[in-house]
Structure 1
């Protein structure tokens, strides 16, 4: 028998339990915290970079608009402001544009050689046995860990005019005489040695990165293409390289940025006294600032170099974003 509620009495539905209410109240701030989490995690890095790089960069830009001499440097007085004088001077300097072109050519050659060899090494590492691959990776890591000073010393010994191994090996070839041959007398030959030093140091990172990217290539696609009659070149062009392309573009951009700012290799290979024929932008800025004591002119050259490197960095970030969107 069903009995109805007495008149005037309303049925009250049971409310949520305290645990459910607490759970709902606790999730109110989670979306906001989740959105802010990436910024909170990256904040220490941004603050450290701002403190370490931001302040010197601002001072560098300000110095490029002044005329700093040794008098202001030793006296601690404020140098006079000259506006765009330093930039107009370097823009009208034909030697400056020669250095810019030389730097661009140097970075292009180093990057092209590095990426071509790195891709070949990475493909080779995919075809050898596991223990050979592990040995190659260990050797590449050891080369990568070698300090630039050590690598420059080794290559200086290899290209030495009196006791260099390069002259001895080339002298064994019939019709060639490289006795006491000075590789740095001709800037083209000297830059060939410097390119070898840069290539030696940058190859391991590129090769290991591309080898890791090659592991993402689906083997069944390559096998299906071979069954359909595709050759090795076609498989690489239409299956392998499209998968590796994002990593290839990023590593190429990074290498171009690093090679554009090369300084240590040239400074060490020329014993701290590089000739004008060996000036790149980094070396030119350093010489103008600390050898000729034209601090503001050197600062202006450094600012131009930073702007050119920022253009490469923007391209690199865009590639990162595109790769993230395609995944």
Structure 2
């Protein structure tokens, strides 16, 4: 209850103010004068929900979320399984390295990746250019949206794998060893033991970390904003950057608030699923 009261105190007013603003027509003059914006009703929501550009942003955000989360979870599980097979010293080195990656602020990691793929001085272009028959000198990764999103997705996956790997490794250590030994005695291969024993036991934890990854990646903002120099083109807009651009780039504050409200509603659906899974695990325990 104290935690809920604290969160309500921090979030209630700004969230409530955003909802009210989404039903108004706030312009720059209202911001400077402090006057109350006129009531617009559902006009902002009607404009957004009938705008093809908005739905293109929604699709782009959803596709990025699905791809980045799937790759992150698979790689995180692979690293977690590897941590079970290495020596204690190597495992400790892996954990320390991943903690360093996880601790790097998003702004810093995005800036690092931006420098790495820079068209003029990027190390990635330099390395690829050394391959015989390949000319990658002065190659711009962001001229093609597909390549640009590969860079952004790689950045997000790189930053997300440490949490997933460490968490899933903790879950793997709770799988009864005698079950795996019995499966080996019965002639089961490593893949069969993973599919029939390890993954079913690990399923609740996988669902939780996957849901958390969906929540985090769906709200992608910093990485896109940094790599595109605070001016993301239409092909690089996500729901978070689109709302910010509408509100503060084009001074459509109420429109940006409406987009944010819709984003929050979409996220609440994912959060409801997450909370449901938490209660299920609590009931099992």
Partner of 2:186: 228
Partner of 1:322: 280
CA deviations 1:246-275 (Å, max 9, x no partner) are: 111100000011100010010111111111
CA deviations 1:213-241 (Å, max 9, x no partner) are: 00110011100110011111110011111
CA distance in structure 2 between the partners assigned to 1:77 and 1:153 by the alignment: 40
Counterpart secondary structure, 1:216: coil
Selected match of 1:103 from 46, 51, 61: 61
CA distance in structure 2 between the partners assigned to 1:109 and 1:266 by the alignment: 16
CA distance in structure 1 between the partners assigned to 2:24 and 2:112 by the alignment: 42
Selected match of 2:198 from 240, 256, 259: 240
Backbone CA RMSD of aligned residues: 0.8
Selected match of 2:250 from 292, 297, 309: 292
Partner of 1:126: 84
Partner of 1:279: 237
Unaligned runs of 5+ in 1: 1-42
CA distance in structure 2 between the partners assigned to 1:173 and 1:273 by the alignment: 33
Partner of 1:115: 73
Counterpart secondary structure, 2:56: helix
1:1-327 equivalences under 5 Å are 43-327=1-285
Counterpart secondary structure, 2:146: helix
State TM-score, norm by structure 2.
0.98
Counterpart secondary structure, 1:310: helix
Counterpart secondary structure, 2:141: coil
CA distance in structure 2 between the partners assigned to 1:201 and 1:115 by the alignment: 12
Counterpart secondary structure, 1:178: coil
Q: Which has the larger radius of gyration?
A: 1
CA deviations 1:19-44 (Å, max 9, x no partner) are: xxxxxxxxxxxxxxxxxxxxxxxx22
With a CA cutoff of 8 Å and minimum separation of 6, indicate the structure with the bigger relative contact order. Answer: 2
**How far is 1:322 from its partner?**
1.0
CA deviations 1:31-82 (Å, max 9, x no partner) are: xxxxxxxxxxxx2211211111111001000000000001111111111111
CA deviations 1:144-202 (Å, max 9, x no partner) are: 00111211111111101011111111112222110100001111111111111111111
Unaligned runs of 5+ in 2: none
CA distance in structure 2 between the partners assigned to 1:48 and 1:187 by the alignment: 41
Partner of 1:13: none
CA distance in structure 1 between the partners assigned to 2:229 and 2:150 by the alignment: 17
**How far is 1:277 from its partner?**
1.0
Partner of 1:34: none
State TM-score, norm by structure 1.
0.86
CA deviations 1:103-134 (Å, max 9, x no partner) are: 00011111011001000000000111111111
CA distance in structure 2 between the partners assigned to 1:190 and 1:98 by the alignment: 17
CA distance in structure 2 between the partners assigned to 1:167 and 1:71 by the alignment: 47
CA distance in structure 1 between the partners assigned to 2:91 and 2:254 by the alignment: 51
Aligned length: 285
